[in-house]
Amino acid sequence: MTLWSAIALASVICLALKVTGYLVPPRLLEAPRPARIADLLTVALLAALVAVQTFGLGQEIVVDARVPAILVAAGLLLLRAPFLVVVVAAAAVAAALRWWGLAV
């Protein structure tokens, strides 16, 4: 299988999944259980993305300046700090740790 045939096959599968979603009756999706699952799935996927971007480097797990920065951000979010403050504080922590040579 060539690269282009794999891309074409993946495109057809994605289109089929999308069309299948439109064919599902709305009453099945409006039930409490599927709605709850959809809400939780979104949060789980976002948490997985944050974990992979924080701890992953290629095929390795790394612990560097991003980990303390995420911990600071999480703490500020728990304290209900404004989002801009959270981002700036996390960036400052990561930059300071890298500047002092405590993290890569």
pLDDT tens-place string over residues 3-40: 999 999 999 999 999 999 899 888 888 889 988 998 89
pTM, rounded to two decimals: 0.62
Chain CA centroid to CA 8, Å: 26
What is the distance between the alpha carbons of residues 78 and 80, in angstroms, rounded to a whole number?
A: 5
What is the distance between the alpha carbons of residues 42 and 54, in angstroms, rounded to a whole number?
A: 18
User: What b/e readout covers 22-47, taking b as 16+ CB neighbours within 10 angstroms?
Assistant: eeeeeeeeeeeeeeeeeeeeeeeeee
Nearest to 102 by CA among 90, 92, 94, 44: 94
Residue 98 binned pLDDT confidence (cut-offs 50, 70, 90)? very high
pLDDT score of 72: 97
